[in-house]
Amino acid sequence: MPEPASDVAVEPGTEKKTLIGKRIPKLDAPEKATGLARYLEDLKLPRMLYGKILFAGRPHARILDIDTSAAKAMSGVRAVITASDIELVPFGYGRDNTALKKDKVTCVRDEVAAVAADTPQIAAQAIERIRVTYEDLPVVTSPEEALADGAPIIHSKVPDNTPFRYDYSHGDVERGIRESDVIVEDTYCLQRVAHCCLGTSGIIADFDAQGRLTVHSLTQVPFLYKHDLSRIVGIAPEKIRIIQPPIGGGFGSKLDVHPFEPICVFLARKTSRPVRLVFTREEEFLATPTRQPMVIHLKSGARKDGTFTFRDVGMTLDNGGHTSWGATTPWISMRTFSSLYRVPHVRQHVDVIYTNNIYACAFRGYGNPQATFALESQVDQLAAELGMDPLEIRLRNANQPGETTGQGMVLSTCGLKECLETAARNAGWKEKQSAVSGQRSALGATAKPPDRQSSIANHQSSVVRGIGMACLFHVGGGAKIYRSDGCGTMLKLDDFGGVTVLTGSSEIGQGSETVIAQMVAQELGLPLKNIQVINNDTSLTPWDVGVHASRTTFVAGNSAFRAAREARGKLLNAAAARLKKKPEELDLVEGNVVERPSGEPLESIGKIIRGLHFGRARNELIMTTHFYEPPSTPPDEKHMGNISPCYAFGTHVAEVEVDLDTGVVKVLKMCAAHDVGRVINRLGIEGQVEGGIAQGIGYCLCEELKVEAARVLNPTFTDYKLVTTTDLPELNISFVETRDPAGPYGAKGIGESPLIPVAPAIANAVFNATGVRITELPLTPERVLMKLNQARADRATSGDSPSTDAKRRKKG
Amino acid sequence: MQDLIDKLELAFTVNGERVSVRVAPQATLLEVLREDLELTGTKYGCGEGECGACSVILDGKVVNSCLVLALECEGSEILTVEGLTANGRLHPIQKAFVDHGAVQCGFCTPGMIMASYALLEENPSPTEDEVKRALEGNLCRCTGYRKIVDAVLSLARGGASDA
Amino acid sequence: MAAIRKYWAPETLKEALHVLAAKDAAPLAGGTDLVSRWTKGLAARPKIVVDLKHVAGLRGVRRRNGSIRIGACTPLSEIAADATIRYFEAPVLAKAADRVACPQIRNRATIGGNLCNASPAADTAIPLILLDAVLWLTSCGPNGIWTREVPITEFFRGPGLTIRRTGEILTQIQFKLQPEDAFIAWDKFGTRRAMEIAIASVGVALWVEGGVVVDARVGYGSVAPVPLRGRQAEAQLVGKLLSSEVIGKCVDAAREEIAPITDVRASEAYRREVVGVMLRRMLERARPDRQT
């Protein structure tokens, strides 16, 4: 039974001494800024070989023969393996993937063979000498093709090509329809995007003399990874050690065991030498699964006073040629459709369908960016239909703290209303709205977007501005995706007040290591520089389920803070005995035991520790442990349940400029307000929001991994467009601190939130500026111009006010 | 065959030290820095000059080392991120990146720092637009660039804001 | 995949031409197009690489007899910063050089390399078309070193193809000093501001007297197999008053004479659209009587 977290370490009057809420540089920043941090590709082991993979390069084919003789004959090649050389253990969420493919390939990035050689150059040459004979099979390029009569069966165990279907409902959608005064229906298409971690994927596998395997891995989930890998390579888990060097980005790309990883282990085993396998950037684009593309059909309604009545969701997912976490992203999409804003009646049906396209894994937001794009675009549309302010309609339906949502989520804290008001105020929402209506009347109330002749003739600006908003709802402390959502911490103090914190949680660049150190330093009243966090070796650290679902600050923080609190108790008791006081009369501040409330230092903490260690009557080292399991419940078979101990909320307001002649959308300003429970590291949390906004802008405006005929068209940074410094808008970021009672110091998670509402906020701003709603991402200039021209053409033929793609039905 | 290609002698200065290595004619500067000289601070991000992770200073100019053949650097002076730290003390640019939260995963950081160094050498008081332009060839996926720009602006002579 | 076996860095043009006459020898300037293609195996590596960057006389911006002469091995960042070019003689060329990729690329990529690489999107090509530039192709003949001068509009033959022969080096780019009152503009269009291979680029040079266009040059990038001179568009302007109607006809002619393709960056239709928008906006700015 978890004890309630409390805030006692921050006493009134001692705010200036607290670390909580301060701007703390990351502990590992100096290593990284000096170039001394050793990433995986910087590591070399003695006699290390270099691995490389032969990818199929074709989307659907039977493998008839693989001739590796020429590759094997090359000087410097130490091993060449195919599926016949290894035991094929199926893995992945759908158990439909193997490290190397034996009978057939089902997408272009399928792994067919691999080599280990003395140098990366030799390995690359050897790959080119492997001759594979294929019999091409008909290619399935879309879910529609996969479901058509006579469609090829992609995986024999799933003859209808539909490995998963999900259904969810709460309330009664038919009743909701009847109660609606306005109903909107639309289809939203969300594209494939790539994680684009700056550091490409890689692994080093190394066996010792006793057959124990050490893997240097970029995994975000070391303990689950170890368990999975053990099964795949046939080595007992206690003989596997996972070491995690600093990674060059994660964002969810590293929650799987990917085929290249057991492949590297097999190469190391075959050669009895360490093998390092690192992707080139092109391999990274081709062979790292993407965000799950989705086609979302959404119908929703409201009463004329703006209260929401129902949502009816249909989702079709292109599962690609193998199953990874993408297939499960609808579970998180569901949570937004069912629970962002109050809505009494919700129904959702999802079909997950095999194709021969590349497949999808987890990516920051995990189905929520897609769902929120659809939902918040449609909420905006409902507001437009009702003639309501988009801010008003959201406030009217905002979730309140203490509520339980239709899907069983308990909103212990909820700052949605404050986020809405804060973001709107900071963005100048009311003033900007009136400016936009002024702009509309200058162009003619129904003449948006203006046709070209009139704007030229009137020398009117072809650039218009708009403002739009969107909110987010996401888990704030994990999503109970596994039997345990917990994290273990072991803590020890040395004789001089140095603290080592062994945490099962991982640092993936997001700053969790620094937050943990902050909390421990705060609890123990020791300087931050005394704290060392060890988090990268499964032989040393206790179990953690892994970095995902925005859980690390909450779960690992709670675990570390409680271990530290126990150590604090031991210190205070020892100090009390030594100083002949009561523990509650003492505090630990800046390396000293101090008297309360005066703050007068009485003794150094180091002396207390040494007194315990070398005491005459007793000898004790301060070592504590804590395994924290959050008080959440896994979803039941109806997808109901309070899967997280707390939930994150937020609002983004985007101000954009649209060039009506070229379709270029420029984001001028983003105002973000996030309910984070409590800010622990202000520098770190701002960085999370700023980074999420940049990813969201890319998702909205320019990123797309283009797949045509099951092949990737743009696997390079030249043609896969990330935002650069010159695309950075003005930012205004606020935090709402709702002090969650279950959170460490009241904190909730934020890792994924900042990405989630960005695209719909921008798309809603584009609608505000132009009167045109676009329901497909990305909003490239070409797509925006096409939709603007379509709207102009529609208006010319129908003489109506600008229509959108939405079908509307008003209750008669 | 790789082994049969004659390696050629290359002599140049890296981080103030005269260095002599034997390199394959097609080896890039990036490969030689990372593999032969084991200066792994400079990163491979894409190998085609699209991400800036491999940025170094070559004869006073910031360049993508993945696009430079090592042999082109005969007699040249190279500065890498490791060359900025002196006697274990952070260069002001490195310190600014640390203090401003401009480092998350850190993979883009060396390249960002070298591009920033090049800017400040040429223009000690850049405007925000000038900073953004100087870094437009360096991709970052974690930070959203804001704190990186703030870190560089804090170094502008005449004391820009401490964001 | 063959390997590079030798690397030469000649210091005189004569030496460079002599080495380039050998089989399997290829010139290297900035390397920003070539090196990654060699590394990734997208282009055959030459056996002998001839680095032109140390050859005397191939770098720098000079005034000569009423012309500007730019050494082919001048890096784009140098051209962008050169005061003569940037503030006086060819601001559009400085602008184009400054909009290529990013500082790391601009510090290495040379104007000669940008032209010889012959991408239809080559940023410096259109400004040079507006400036009516002439390219010097130098080779070693039976009578010694010999240079032929080629107008830039004749230089490009197709994507990646120029009339430069094996053994020839592009040594200089030359254009006449422009009269002060010429209106010259250039812009490029892409999905984001930096690191862009243009979806389309447009340049316009106009000489206007008493409101009438006496001469015009128009150029388009990324919308034809080569950087293209827009003669049909020009024909709509010369001898006319720059009115809305004339501009409209010019834009129509431009949309007709370009030959954009659909590729991973943009569709043919969109490129046509964007060229028209950019051209119209530039010509509107050139109108002396326009409302502000």
Q: Would you tell me which residues 480-539 of chain A have a C-beta closer than 8 angstroms to some C-beta of chain C?
A: none
Q: Is the minimum CB–CB distance between A723 and chain C shorter than 8 Å?
A: yes
Which of A611, A628, A645 marks a domain boundary?
A628
**What mean pLDDT do residues B62-87 have?**
97
Residue A167 falls inside a structural domain: no
* C265: pLDDT strictly greater than 80: yes
Q: In this predicted structure, what is the pLDDT of residue A161?
A: 98
The whole-angstrom separation of Cα B124 and Cα B148 is 16
Cβ of residue B74 closer than 8 Å to a chain C Cβ: yes
Instruction: Point out the residue among B2, B26, B138 whose CB comes nearest to the CB of C38.
Output: B26
CATH 1.10.150.120 placement within chain B:
92-153
Contacts of B146 (CB under 8 A, 6+ apart): A686, A690, A728, A731
pLDDT tens digits, A46-87: 999 999 999 999 999 999 999 999 999 999 999 999 999 999
How would you write A521-584 as a 3-class SS string?
Answer: HHHHCCCHHHEEEECCECCCCCCECCCCCCCHHHHHHHHHHHHHHHHHHHHHHHHHHHHCCCHH
Number of residues in chain B: 163
Position A320 in a domain: yes
Average of per-residue pLDDT across C104-129? 97
What pLDDT does residue C196 have? 79
Report the pLDDT value the prediction gives residue A445, as an integer from 0 to 100.
37
CB contact (8 A) between residue B144 and residue A724: no
Considering only CB atoms, B139 lies closest to which of A33, A247, A724, namely A724
Same domain, A518 and A567: yes
* The amino acid at A147: L
Which pLDDT belongs to residue B81?
Answer: 98
Last residue of a domain, one of A628, A650, A678: A628
Domain boundary among A265, A287, A309: A287
Report pLDDT for A438.
Answer: 62
In whole numbers, what is the pLDDT of chain B averaged over residues? Answer: 94
Contact check, Cβ <8 Å, A249/B105: yes
CA distances from A159 to A88, A318, B156 (A): 22, 16, 65
Residues A447 and A454 sit within 8 Å (Cβ to Cβ): yes
With cut-offs at 50, 70 and 90, classify the pLDDT of residue C100. Answer: very high
Q: Is the pLDDT of residue A685 over 50?
A: yes
Q: Do residue C193 and residue A724 have CB atoms under 8 angstroms apart?
A: yes
Average pLDDT of the residues in B11-38: 97
Interchain contact B142–C (C-beta under 8 A): no
Residue A454 predicted with pLDDT over 50: no
Query: For the range A618-623, what are the long-range contacts, defined as Cβ-Cβ under 8 Å and sequence gap of 24 or more?
Result: A620/A570, A621/A492, A621/A493, A622/A492, A622/A493, A622/A567, A622/A570, A622/A571, A623/A490, A623/A491, A623/A492, A623/A493
Backbone angles phi, psi at C114, to 5 degrees: -60, -40
pLDDT of the residue at A15: 53
Tell me the shortest Cα–Cα distance from B58 to chain A, in angstroms. Answer: 17
State the pLDDT confidence band at A452, using cuts at 50, 70 and 90.
very low
Task: Describe chain A by its helix, strand, coil percentages, rounded to 5.
Answer: 30, 25, 45
Residue C59 tokens, joined = 């770098």
pLDDT of residue A103: 96
Give A455 or A189, the one with higher predicted confidence: A189
Contacts of A64 (CB under 8 A, 6+ apart): A133, A134, A135
Nearest CA in chain C to B54: C104
Going by C-beta distance under 8 Å and a sequence separation of 6 or more, which residues neighbour residue C263?
A: none
Inter-chain contact A726–C267, Cβ cutoff 8 Å? no
| Assigned domain for A601 exists | yes
| pLDDT of A455 above 60 | no
CATH code of A693's domain: 3.30.365.10
Query: Any CB–CB contact under 8 A between A623 and chain B?
Result: no
Domain B92-153 belongs to what topology?
DNA polymerase; domain 1 (1.10.150)
Dmax of chain B from CA atoms?
Answer: 57
pLDDT digits (tens, 9 = 90+) for A299-309: 999 999 999 99
Query: Is pLDDT above 60 for A810?
Result: no
Nearest in space to A406 (alpha carbons), one of A484, A476, A491, A308:
A308
What pLDDT score does A804 carry? 41
Q: Residue A617: what pLDDT? A: 84
Distance CA C140, CA C155 (A): 19
**C274 chain-A contacts, CB cut-off 8 A:** 662, 781
3-state DSSP assignment of residue A181: coil
DSSP, collapsed to helix, strand or coil, labels residue A730 as strand
Q: Which residues of A touch B50 (CB under 8 A)?
A: 716-718
C167, two tokens: 């053994």
Give me A36's structure tokens.
């001394």
Residue A721 has what pLDDT? 94
Domains of chain A: total:
3
Average model confidence (pLDDT) across chain A: 93
Per-residue confidence band for A437, with pLDDT thresholds at 50, 70 and 90: low
Predicted pLDDT at B157: 76
Interface contacts (A, B; CB < 8 Å) = 189
Nearest by CB to A728, from B104, B132, B138: name it: B132
Kindly report, residue by residue over A97-122, the tens digit of the pLDDT: 999 999 999 999 999 999 999 999 99
User: Buried (b) or exposed (e) across B4-19, using 16+ Cβ within 10 A?
Assistant: eeeebebebebbeeeb
Average pLDDT rounded to a whole number, residues B28-33:
98
Which pLDDT band, with edges at 50, 70 and 90, does B163 fall under?
very low
Confidence of residue C210 (pLDDT cuts 50, 70, 90): confident
Neighbouring C-beta atoms of residue C47, cutoff 10 Å: 16
What's the length of chain A?
Answer: 812
The Cα B81–Cα A292 span in angstroms is 37
Rounded to an integer, what distance in angstroms lies between the CA atom of residue A545 and that of residue B162?
A: 38
C-beta contacts of A210-214 below 8 A and 24+ residues apart: A211/A235, A211/A239, A212/A239, A212/A240, A212/A241, A213/A239, A213/A240, A213/A241, A213/A265, A213/A268, A214/A240, A214/A241, A214/A242, A214/A243
Of A689-693, A790-794, C170-174, least confident by mean pLDDT is A790-794
Instruction: List all residues of chain B from 92 to 121 with a beta carbon under 8 Å from chain A.
Output: 94-95, 97-101, 103-110, 113
pLDDT of residue A799: 59
Q: What phi and psi values does residue A795 have, to the nearest 5 degrees?
A: -65, -40
Instruction: Place B1 in a pLDDT band, splitting at 50, 70 and 90.
Output: very low
Structure tokens at A520: 């421990």
CATH at residue A206: 3.90.1170.50
Indicate whether A338 and A427 sit together in one domain. yes
How far is B158 from chain C, CA to nearest CA, in Å? 24
What is the torsion angle, in degrees rounded to the nearest 10, for the CA atoms of residue A681, residue A686, residue A687 and residue A689?
A: 130
A811 pLDDT above the threshold of 50: no
Instruction: Flag if B137 and C105 touch (Cβ within 8 Å).
Output: yes
Cα gap A437→A117, rounded to integer Å = 67
CB contact under 8 Å between C193 and A662, yes or no, is no
Which residues does chain B have within 8 Å of residue A281's beta carbon, measured at their own beta carbons?
45-48, 51
Please determine, for residue B79, whether its predicted confidence score (pLDDT) is greater than 80. yes
> Are residues C102 and B138, on separate chains, in Cβ contact within 8 Å?
yes
More reliable by pLDDT, A622 or A440:
A622
Confidence bin at C290 (pLDDT 50/70/90)? low
- Which residues between 778 and 797 in chain A have a beta carbon less than 8 angstroms from any beta carbon of chain B? none
Give C290's contacts in chain A (Cβ within 8 Å). 459
Residue A164 within a domain: no
A332 and A456 inside one domain: yes
Contact between C129 and C230 under an 8 Å Cβ cutoff? The reply is no
Contact by Cβ (8 Å): A519, A681: no
Place of tokens 């400036």: C131
Which residues of B are less than 8 Å from A694 in CB distance? 140-141, 143-145
The Cα of C244 is separated from the nearest Cα of chain A by a number of Å equal to 8
Closest A-chain CA to C195: A718
Residue A182: Cβ-neighbour burial (10 angstroms; 0-12, 13-18, 19+): buried
Q: A158-169, pLDDT tens digit by residue? A: 999 999 999 999
Q: Would the CB atoms of C195 and B48 count as touching at under 8 Å?
A: no
pLDDT in tens, A521-579: 999 999 999 999 999 999 999 999 999 999 999 999 999 999 999 999 999 999 999 99
Looking at the structure, do residues A513 and A555 belong to the same domain, yes or no? Answer: yes
CB contact under 8 A, A724 and C197: no
Q: What are the start and end residues of each CATH 3.10.20.30 domain in chain B?
A: 8-83
Residue B5 at interface with chain C, using a CB cutoff of 8 Å:
yes
Does A160 map to a domain? no
Tell me the residue type at B18: R
Nearest to C191 among A128, A780, A786 (CB): A780
Q: Is residue A192 part of a domain?
A: no
Looking at the predicted structure, is the pLDDT value of residue A457 above 80? no
Residues facing A648 on adjacent strands: A474
Report the predicted TM-score, pTM, of the whole model to 2 decimal places.
Answer: 0.96
Of A41, A75, A728, the CB nearest to B146: A728
DSSP A567-636: HHHHHHHHHHHHHTS-GGGEEEETTEEEETTT--EEEEHHHHHHHHHT-SS-----EEEEEE--S-----
Residues of A in contact with B45 (CB under 8 A): 198-200, 281
Distance CA C25, CA A741 (A): 73
Provide the terminal-to-terminal Cα distance of chain C, rounded to the nearest Å: 59
Q: What integer pLDDT is reported at residue A802 of this predicted model?
A: 44
- Inform me whether the C-beta atom of residue A22 falls under 8 Å from chain B C-beta atoms: no
Which pLDDT score is estimated for A8? 38
Please report which confidence band the pLDDT of residue A456 belongs to, taking 50, 70 and 90 as the band edges.
very low
pLDDT at position A809 over 50: no
Mean pLDDT value of segment C169-173: 98
Average pLDDT score, chain C: 94
Q: Calculate the alpha carbon distances from B54 to A39, A289, A551, A807, B57 in Å.
A: 14, 25, 33, 51, 10
Judge contact between A585 and A596, C-beta under 8 A.
Answer: yes
Among A385, A298, A302, CA closest to A341: A302
Whether A4 shows a pLDDT value over 90: the answer reads: no
Q: Based on the domain organization, do A601 and A505 belong to the same domain?
A: yes
Does the beta-carbon distance from C107 to B63 stay under 8 Å?
yes
> Which of B146, B153, B162 has the highest number of chain A CBs within 10 A, making it the mutation to test binding with A?
B146
Q: Which residues are CB-neighbours of A445 under 8 A, at least 6 positions away? A: none
| Minimum-distance CB partner of A727 among C193, C266, C273 | C193
Confidence of residue A17 (pLDDT cuts 50, 70, 90): confident
Would you call B133 and C103 a contact, using CB atoms and an 8 Å cutoff?
yes
- For A572, residues 6+ apart whose C-beta sits below 8 A from its C-beta are A583, A586, A588, A593
Q: What integer is the mean pLDDT of A791-798?
A: 84
Instruction: Name the residue with higher pLDDT: B154 or C193.
Output: B154
Task: Give pLDDT tens digits for A319-369.
Answer: 999 999 999 999 999 999 999 999 999 999 999 999 999 999 999 999 999
| Mean pLDDT to the nearest integer, B3-20 | 90
Determine, for residues C191 and A706 on separate chains, whether the beta-carbon distance falls below 8 Å. Answer: no
Is residue A101 assigned to a domain?
Answer: yes
Q: What is the CATH number of domain B8-83?
A: 3.10.20.30
Say what the ipTM of the complex is. 0.96
Mean pLDDT check: name the lowest of A171-185, A456-470, C205-219.
A456-470
Query: By residue range, what is the domain housing residue A77?
Result: 40-137+200-247+254-287
pLDDT digits (tens, 9 = 90+) for A368-419: 999 999 999 999 999 999 999 999 999 999 999 999 999 999 999 999 999 9
For C225-236, the pLDDT digits (tens) are: 999 999 999 999
* A159 found inside a domain: no
Domain identity same for A379 and A473: yes
What number of other Cβ atoms are within 10 A of residue B22's Cβ?
A: 12
Rounded average pLDDT over A235-263: 97
Q: Which of A23, A27, A34 to mutate to test the interface with B (most CBs of B within 10 A)?
A: A34
What does the block give as tokens for A406? 């239709």
Residue A434: predicted pLDDT: 73
Task: Return the partners of chain C (3 or more C-beta pairs < 8 Å).
Answer: A, B
C-alpha to C-alpha distances, A8 to A565, A575, A704, nearest whole angstrom:
11, 19, 48
Q: What is the pLDDT of residue A812?
A: 34
